[in-house]
Amino acid sequence: MESLWKKNTTIPPREMLTKNIHTKAIVIGAGMAGILTAYLLQEQGIETVVLEADRIASGQTCNTTAKITSQHNLIYASLTEKFGRHKAGMYAHANQQAIEDYARIIEKENIGCQFQRCPAYLYAREESRVEELEKEAKTARLLGIPAEFTMETELPFVTAGAVRFDSQARFQPLEFIQGIAGKLKIYEKSKAVRIEDHCVFTEHGMAEGEHVVFAVHYPWQVAPGYYFLRMHQERSYVIALDISEWEPMDGMYLGIEEEGYSFRTFQEDGRRILLLGGGGHRTGENSLGGKYELLRKKAREWFPGSREIAYWSAQDCMPMDKIPYIGYFSSEIPNWYVATGFGKWGMTSSMAAASIISEMIVGGEHPDEKVFAPQRFPVAALSKNFTENAIQAVKGLSKQAVTMEEFPKKCPHMGCKLEENPDDHTWECPCHGSCFTEKGELLNGPAQHGFDSYEK
């Protein structure tokens, strides 16, 4: 279970931090958000160091389907209703600008990463959902996005309608990171184990800087910030199919129904490859399995004769109000910043986060930063999700206490009972989304270390 990006791209290793260093800015995490933040800071003359617990882009970045798009499911009509046209416009502008920022960097650094402009579609198969699509298209246009409702798609089944966003993009994410990481100071195998003020301690060294950026997918710090109460994690699944015998699919697609699927193609070694995604669920809620088999069944139905060449899963942090948390980590600590809660749109959100945070660090004001501010408190919009997250945490903790003898595996983050995911052969925390191998090795946080399989 390894993504095609990871199979086909080898980024040269970097040294471990084994000494004490001083720098202007420290970025924790060498995924897309961390690498882009460091790159933009360096462009503006800010000395920056990146600390990575494992390898560059070894986390969620290597598992993305790599869509660079401002089309984030049905979001613009909802944002406009909840927060007003002005803030919805900020969200739209930040993500549209992210596409152009990728294009600028790719041209500047002459990066061969299969960057390609293409349309992105939201589709529905049920007639009852058409009105939502038409409303989304109209709202997106009012916010400055080139969007329109259409009945035409390239999908291998009949749809009731779709929203088309023009001039979106796709690329090979690890080739892009390889193209910009060479100019950055990055320490691998240098996990941040403790932070005091502006000093980040690893197991073998320490970095001190005026600014600290948490670009770690899921912040592990419980306080301040309390991000474990602000979002939950979801897992989704992908299979890669060789569909060279089929007609080209120019657009990228996402279904809006509960059982909607994602489609995105690219070329590899003369083959036309389709990434077919779906089967998403809250992390820790897949005890029956069958997600990959569901995708394989759909592949046989829609692309008979296609050949599977890879399969993998990805994990995403889902914010309460569908807007990522980008900006100051907490009002209590100056010069700490955070980029998290990207939903399922990590590539575009990573660029938006890097742009906003780098501008804040150099002392400027980003035109779209307010809508992403982690200190926002739209109580009406958050209450339902906040309650749901709290209920899940209490259920997990209660289950752990009651059935400890029968199920000894518990999450080292906050002690919730782990649930098995038979599709990925992992153990997952339904409270906050930490994931572990069958042997107890940590795969995803917020836990900071693995668990003992026999701990009671």
- The Cα–Cα gap between 446 and 159 comes to 39
CA 118, chain centre distance (Å): 21
pLDDT reported for residue 379: 41
Which tokens belong to 396? 């997990």
CA 257, chain centre distance (Å): 21
Dihedral (C-alpha) 438, 440, 446, 448: value to the nearest 10 degrees?
-160
- The Cα–Cα gap between 373 and 78 comes to 18
The CATH superfamily label for domain 114-170+233-319 reads: D-Amino Acid Oxidase, subunit A, domain 2 (3.30.9.10)
Is-contact 285 301, C-beta < 8 A?
no
Residue 241 pairs with which residues in a beta bridge? 274, 308
- The Cα–Cα gap between 115 and 103 comes to 8
pLDDT reported for residue 23: 97
Report the largest interatomic distance among the alpha carbons of the chain, rounded to a whole angstrom.
62
pLDDT reported for residue 392: 58
pLDDT reported for residue 29: 96
State yes or no: cis peptide before 430, omega within 30 of 0: no
Q: Could you give the residue range(s) of every CATH 3.50.50.60 domain in the chain?
A: 4-64+174-230+322-376
The residues, any chain, with a CB within 8 Å of residue 65's CB and separated by 6 or more, are 238, 262, 264, 275, 277, 314
Q: Could you give the residue range(s) of every CATH 3.30.9.10 domain in the chain?
A: 114-170+233-319
Architecture of domain 4-64+174-230+322-376: 3-Layer(bba) Sandwich (3.50)
pLDDT reported for residue 311: 95
pLDDT tens figures, 136-181? 999 999 999 999 999 999 999 999 999 999 999 999 999 999 999 9
Q: Which of 424, 454, 455 minimizes the C-alpha distance to 444?
A: 424
- The Cα–Cα gap between 329 and 353 comes to 13
Is-contact 219 446, C-beta < 8 A?
yes
pLDDT reported for residue 8: 85
45: exposed, middle or buried (C-beta count within 10 Å: 0-12, 13-18, 19+)? exposed
pLDDT reported for residue 367: 94
The residues, any chain, with a CB within 8 Å of residue 205's CB and separated by 6 or more, are 16, 17, 18, 19, 20, 21, 187, 190
pTM score, whole prediction: 0.91
pLDDT tens figures, 346-357? 999 999 999 999
Residues in the chain predicted with pLDDT less than 50, given as ranges, are 378-383, 400-407, 453-456
- HEC secondary structure over 120-178: EEEEECCHHHHHHHHHHHHHHHHCCCCEEEECCCCCCCCCCEEEEEEEEEECCHHHHHH
Q: What is the DSSP string of 192-253?
A: --EEETTEEE-SS-EEEEEEEEE-SSS----TTT-GGGTEEEEEEEEEEEE-TTSPP--SEE
Residue 162 pairs with which residues in a beta bridge? 123, 150
